Structure 1
Amino acid sequence: MDKIAFLGLGSMGAPMAHRLLAAGHPLTVWNRTRHKAAPLVAAGAHLADGPADAVRDADVVITMLADPAAAHAVAESVLPALRPGAHWIDTSTVGPDTIRELAARLPEGVALTDAPVMGSVDRAAAGELWILAGGPLPVPVRTVLGHLGDITECGAPGSGAALKLVLINAVIGGVALVSETLKLGRALGLPADLVRTELSKGPLSGAVARTFAEASHFPLALAAKDVSLATAHTPLPLLETVHELLTADPESAAQDLSRLRP
């Protein structure tokens, strides 16, 4: 079994790492906040002292980090320590520009696949993520990603990261729109259950389900980050307005996207 290093054990990274450990892979983990690694260590993972220590002997390195700044910060330690033949899989949502920047800095003999995921913590724990893969997909990468969910091959490096921005912004915008229509229904005196039920029958059914999801965790701060990554590429007036909504209350930044629901 390939030796895996997993860096980033937040709400998504931890259940993904548990899936790989349960599949039998030797697993080394690292997280900026060390105590988050404790359940994985108790289950048999090795805790590294830092990013470089984590990846030094790894066949496959997986990162699940919050944003481009975190990805670049970790890369400063990781890139010099990657051994020839290693494969780096970035599952973060950082956009195609960051992926291309990281790929340009790879040591000789090291490959990078961008493989951001769709799905929240419940799907991560169940191994049912929707993986958007750009770049090379050799057998070891396919095998590792197969433990986490279903793979969609997107094309050249950065294409997975690009498609993730398209899809996640459709979700965020959809939840914002459903929240507005629920508010309109209430203003018109309609029963909330009636509005929700009828909206669920139409093209917004998926957005309605996400608006009321209870087993998901997608903090407003990360949603705002994903919108910012998208609007940096082209003018998107509707999403720019959604970004204002997402950032209107800084005290709610850690709450789930469903917080938009009236």
Structure 2
Amino acid sequence: MDKNSKIAFLGLGSMGAPMARRVAAAGYPLTVWNRSAGKSDGFADVAGTPGQAVSDADVVITMLSDPAAVREVVGAIAGELKPGAVLIDASTIGPEAVHEIAALLPAGITLVDAPVMGSVDKAAAGELNLLVGGDADKVMPLLELFGTVRRTGAVGTGAALKIVMINAIVNGVALVAEAYQLADAYGLPEDLVKQSLSTSPLAGLATRAAAENAFYQVKLAAKDVDLAARAGDLPIARAVHDRLTSYSEASDEDIAQLVKHFRS
């Protein structure tokens, strides 16, 4: 691909919007679509429907909230895709859903699964970690706009590794939150606990549990942990999912707020 390759970006949520802005800033012809039209403010070429967005696109990127949304949108655009186009799904939907959307695509369309690890600030800075499955050679220049690419193997392996990674992180943040709850029960000073966690094997998770500039909503974390729990006998994931879904009033908060809710 080159800078004349036409890109369609579908889904301008908290992660999708800064990723799409990076595509535009790099000089690619870009058409965007989002279910809520207000989120497309600031983009030059905004399509009214997903089909309109992809009709002449060489590469289509989907960054949507869950498997149902991806299935719906891919089903709507499958017949509108340009022959030879590449569809990159950057959503977190798990390997089963990736194979389901692969079955919706006509012959000649290349599917690449490329879910991302990182927060909104990393998306804006092009510092995400992309877990990329499938034949991505053609679109590497585009993927590298978003951050560091880790090739994982066949289609679906990127989606699978994302669920493995994000499940461990969410469960780990819940573990740190529970550690603070236990420390409160013992009457330990918060600063002492924080400093001790920061120099322990849990340091990275403790940092994420204290993050103030990240935005990974509790409801999305619950969705991702549920995907993991459905894939195997994972009692910790199931317990964390139950805890996450019990915080209905906090569903739009970042997962760092779990510490507050565990301690309340």
Alignment correspondent of 1:84: 83
1:74-114 Cα offsets, whole Å, 9 max, x none, are: 01211010011100000000000010111122112110000
1:100-155 Cα offsets, whole Å, 9 max, x none, are: 1111221121100000000010100000000000011123x101001000000000
Q: Check the 8 A contact 2:229/2:237 in 1, yes or no.
A: yes
Alignment correspondent of 1:191: 189
Alignment correspondent of 2:142: 144
* 1:119 maps onto 2:122 in alignment: no
Q: Check the 8 A contact 2:33/2:40 in 1, yes or no.
A: yes
How far the C-alpha of 1:190 sits from its partner, in A, is 1.1
Quote the Cα distance in structure 2 between the aligned partners of 1:183 and 1:250.
20
Alignment correspondent of 2:24: 21
Q: Check the 8 A contact 2:132/2:150 in 1, yes or no.
A: yes
Q: Check the 8 A contact 2:74/2:104 in 1, yes or no.
A: no
TM-score scaled to structure 1, two decimals? 0.97
Alignment correspondent of 1:173: 171
Name the SS of the counterpart of 1:5 in structure 2.
strand
Name the SS of the counterpart of 2:111 in structure 1.
strand
Alignment RMSD: 0.8
Name the SS of the counterpart of 1:261 in structure 2.
helix
The correspondence for 1:238, drawn from 215, 236, 239, is 236
How far the C-alpha of 1:224 sits from its partner, in A, is 0.5
Name the SS of the counterpart of 2:246 in structure 1.
coil
Quote the Cα distance in structure 2 between the aligned partners of 1:69 and 1:101.
11
Alignment correspondent of 1:214: 212
1:38-66 Cα offsets, whole Å, 9 max, x none, are: 02x2xxx3000100000011011000000
Structure 2: give runs of 5+ residues left out of the alignment: none
Identity %: 53
Quote the Cα distance in structure 2 between the aligned partners of 1:261 and 1:81.
46
Quote the Cα distance in structure 2 between the aligned partners of 1:137 and 1:103.
15
Quote the Cα distance in structure 1 between the aligned partners of 2:109 and 2:213.
37
**Which consecutive segments of 4 or more residues in structure 1 shift more than 6 A?**
none
1:151-170 Cα offsets, whole Å, 9 max, x none, are: 00000100000000000011
How far the C-alpha of 1:249 sits from its partner, in A, is 2.1
Q: How many pairs does the alignment contain?
A: 257
